[in-house]
Structure 1
Amino acid sequence: MTDLALFDSLLSASTHPDPAFPRFHPRPAQGWINDPNGISHINGRYHVFFQYNPESARHSQIQWGHVSSADLVHWEEHPVALSPQAGGPDSAGCWTGVVTSDGGVPTAAYSGVRDHGGHSQVVIARGSADLVTWEQDGHVAASMPSDPLVTAVRDPFLFWFDGARYAIQGAGLADGRAALLLYTVEDMNDWKYQGIWLTSADPVAAVHTPAEIWECPQLVEVPDSSGGSAWVMMFSLWLSGDDHEHANGVGHLIGSLSPDPTSGLPVFVPSSGGKSDLGRDFYAPQIVQLSYGSSSGSSPVALLWGWANEGPGRDGRRGRTQEEIDDAGWAGVLTHPRVLSLVDGALAVSPAPEVLAYRGAAVAVGAALAADAVVVAGAAGSVVVPAFAEVLVRGGAASSGGVSSRGVSSGDVELALVSSADGDSDDNRQVVYSGSLASGEELRIFIDASLVEVYRTGSVATTLRAYPAAGEEWQLTLHDGATADVWELALPE
């Protein structure tokens, strides 16, 4: 933005010239974005910051962009919040961090890098009550630890436990292990380093969160379907040579947090874990803890946003070349806000209920996709889905109990891009998502131009990017017994 005027980011997206530009996931019309940062709920508004280069669709000279919302539906874009300061500890970029209310003052704690290739430090900035203007004086709250075993540090995250405030940072060690560093934070201006807290040598972590550096560490309390709660630790699993491909994706550990009987410092003991998203286009999520169960007397609440990048295509899907990305002038999108919980001891991720406000006109209601299906403008056994859509799929007992005429086994779901000019030939189908669907199970799918989010009840999500070419349409195919409701997405008044 060139001035302080605010505008509805989603309304602006609706007029974007690129048909692949998402309309229901707020981001600036131009420029590169990646990691969500500083997610917070302060003075009645949700604030989402993000890594941002407004000058091009490439990862360079990272600043903090900023959008906010009172309802998670209508978003406003604000001016750049944090920018690299010449000669300061963040002169080579304002990288990932968090925002908290510190004595009533909005305060950012982020990774600042003085020179490219240098070590990061935790830099503090203070914001106005509406979080739109920020004072950057270059104050460093934590520098690189003196421990020679610690070779890389980044991405501070704050949490509360037993009435005290703590921080963690992701790290890499000289022996190749990923690690988590612990700090006590009585004063936001002066973090006290407590040492290496956890490493990827832990037997549970070695299975579920293998990496050379644990990036973007998160630690939140989430409700359990049993009625209690547990702690979830989430990492982006960095490997050398990733270059924004991130083959290991994002993993999490589920465990307990208790005070050390001697030091009183928290001790995290992981008991299980897994992948935090099943797509290859999801990385660097950030979670905001809206309430703790231990302090609020109710179920804890945690919301997650993730980053879906552009790319050359993964797992057989067609992507965009760097030249196409440059021509489009934008790169990267953030997911819908997601609610975290545990179901039967495993992480479950669902869309925040507020995003259902985008549901517009019904395209198909209860369409039974069988040989005698009610078919909407598509080939037999399929439904054509709009470019901006919500789909609710419900599994059912297969009437044939076998394999359909399309070769889709009982219970399978397929979302594909199909050339409308060439009909339903398998040679003209780009499968974007496929998976099994048990009787009574539900999938909720959101399509926003080139971003697809799939939510399976009681499981983690799947985040994917796909780019419809001219003459292609989205098509949903299910086996006998399943039904689908399809709605267009629309911005509510």
Structure 2
Amino acid sequence: MTDLAVVSSLARAAVHPDPAFPRFHPRPAQGWINDPNGITYINGRYHVFFQYNPLSARHHQIQWGHVSSPDLVRWEEHPVALVPQAGGPDSAGCWTGVVTLDGDVPTAAYSGVQDHGGHSQVVIARGSSDLVTWEQNGHVAASMPSDPLVTAVRDPFIFHFNGSRYAMQGAGLADGRAALLLYTVDSLDDWKYQGIWLTTANPVAAEHTPAEIWECPQLVQVPVASGGSQWVMMFSLWLSGDDHEHANGVGHLIGSMSSHPETGLPVFTPESGGKSDFGRDFYAPQMVQLSSGSSPSALLFGWANEGPGRDGRRGRTQAEIDDAGWSGVLTHPRVLSVVDGALVVAPVPEVSAYRGASVASGASGSVAVPEFAEVLVAGAAGPVELVLGSGRDRQVVYRGELAAGEELRIFLDASLVEVYASNSVATTLRAYPAPGEYWTLDVPPGATADVWELALPA
């Protein structure tokens, strides 16, 4: 691993001047970030790239930022990986994509846009063995399909099935349906378009993943608690006029894969689905397949955006975001499984390394919580509320029901809140404590809370 501009991202966050800046989630000290991209595990390190504007806290002239870690706990920040090329197919931005190995060469496949508002193309770039330096020559592997029904295409994702490599992109159709486009990828330099693969005309998709464009499509194989595995497809559910509000959020489909009897191409059959996160501040996640076959595993990172305040929570204005000089946070890495036919999302076990000194053990009623904390709630069923402040300025940031036999695991990292319910998906939220405000967790009678401060591992 080169020492070029390598910085401990979390150590720098600990001295950030903005009290709302998270300390336990990697990101640069300044600038805008959004979608996680190119998540991969190569040569003993996890690499996470992300949409990045280092020049301001606004969504403009997007590049790829880059952090890496040997253990999902200690993160290092690297130089910008991909930048828009003047006159190239990505001159208006290097947008969402993936990183894979082409032989032994790390290779990025991403959406390049040549002019703002124009169509995207799949652009290829090759990386060094440590993924720190990249060669961009403007090679286009796939352009906009000639099908007049396809009006928008974005966000390539590569997957493997039955020993072959395929890719898909999210799309919008002229009749208002969201769609997936399928490609065969014998060569990463030349993707062969196979047509429209799935749309919201499918009744299961229409129920669980309604959208005008399926953004950031993902497809991975995950373990089933009772044995075996299933395929999980995930989409960010774009609607016209979203402007980073993303009211439909993120949805998923759970199903099976088979081969078409005539073409041999993969067929995905959705069987169930649901919301992939219950928070209003979560969008554009990316999953990566770490292992497949009889013992599949997959990781997920998401983007938690800044906002004007939603669901009764006080947000930040654009002027406040500009003054702070940063926008957007990546979530903790998450693991996926299927339990009783439903998707379960949990933090990776490694984040327990952030657990520091015990603040409370077996606490009940109304429990004070530090601004950087992990909380475990268990016991009797009933309502749980996470509250910021008191009196007239009191905000209920999270409200949920603790079911019998269930646990809630809550992480507070300055302005980022992640709530993980056992046997469910997560809830990702943003809230901004004012000077002198404090957090309180109200647990139901008979339930208890254990609280730890968060601390960087030695």
TM-score by length of structure 1 reads 0.92
* Aligned counterpart, 1:94: 94
CA-CA distance at 1:291 after TM superposition = 0.6
Letter in 2 for 1:459: S
In the alignment, the residues of structure 1 paired with residue 320 and residue 286 of structure 2 have an alpha-carbon distance, to the nearest angstrom, of 28
* Aligned counterpart, 1:236: 236
Cα deviation digits, residues 216-256 of structure 1 (max 9, x gap)? 00000000112011001000000000000000000001110
Query: Residue 394 of structure 1 aligns to a residue in which SS?
Result: strand
CA-CA distance at 1:112 after TM superposition = 0.1
TM-score by length of structure 2 reads 0.99
* Aligned counterpart, 2:389: 418
CA-CA distance at 1:438 after TM superposition = 2.1
Does residue 67 in structure 1 map to residue 67 in structure 2?
yes
1:390 counterpart (367, 374, 378): 374
Cα deviation digits, residues 428-456 of structure 1 (max 9, x gap)? 42100011112321000000000000000
* Aligned counterpart, 2:308: 312
Query: Residue 472 of structure 1 aligns to a residue in which SS?
Result: coil
Rg (Cα) greater in structure: 1
Cα deviation digits, residues 315-355 of structure 1 (max 9, x gap)? 11100000000000000000000000000010000000000
In the alignment, the residues of structure 2 paired with residue 440 and residue 263 of structure 1 have an alpha-carbon distance, to the nearest angstrom, of 48
* Aligned counterpart, 2:216: 216
Return 443-452 or 470-479, whichever deviates more: 470-479
Do 1:179 and 1:200's aligned partners in 2 also have CA atoms closer than 8 Å?
yes
* Aligned counterpart, 1:399: none
CA-CA distance at 1:395 after TM superposition = 2.3
Does residue 149 in structure 1 map to residue 145 in structure 2?
no
Cα deviation digits, residues 166-209 of structure 1 (max 9, x gap)? 00000000010000000000100000000000001101001000
* Aligned counterpart, 1:352: 348
CA-CA distance at 1:471 after TM superposition = 1.1
Do 1:395 and 1:411's aligned partners in 2 also have CA atoms closer than 8 Å?
no
* Aligned counterpart, 2:406: 441
Matched residues, number: 456
* Aligned counterpart, 1:116: 116
Displaced runs of 4 or more, over 6 A: none
Cα deviation digits, residues 342-386 of structure 1 (max 9, x gap)? 00010000000000100000000111x1xxxxxxxxxxx311101
Letter in 2 for 1:453: E
**What RMSD, in angstroms, separates the aligned Cα atoms of the two structures?**
0.9
Cα deviation digits, residues 440-483 of structure 1 (max 9, x gap)? 21000000000000000010000000000111001111121001
In the alignment, the residues of structure 1 paired with residue 258 and residue 207 of structure 2 have an alpha-carbon distance, to the nearest angstrom, of 23
Letter in 2 for 1:481: G
Query: Residue 365 of structure 1 aligns to a residue in which SS?
Result: strand
1:337 counterpart (315, 333, 336): 333
In the alignment, the residues of structure 2 paired with residue 198 and residue 365 of structure 1 have an alpha-carbon distance, to the nearest angstrom, of 49
Letter in 2 for 1:162: N
2:361 counterpart (350, 360, 365): 365
In the alignment, the residues of structure 2 paired with residue 417 and residue 271 of structure 1 have an alpha-carbon distance, to the nearest angstrom, of 40
> Gaps (5+ residues) in structure 2?
none
> Gaps (5+ residues) in structure 1?
370-380, 397-409, 420-424
Do 1:68 and 1:77's aligned partners in 2 also have CA atoms closer than 8 Å?
yes
Letter in 1 for 2:307: G
Letter in 2 for 1:474: W
**% identity of equivalent residues:** 82
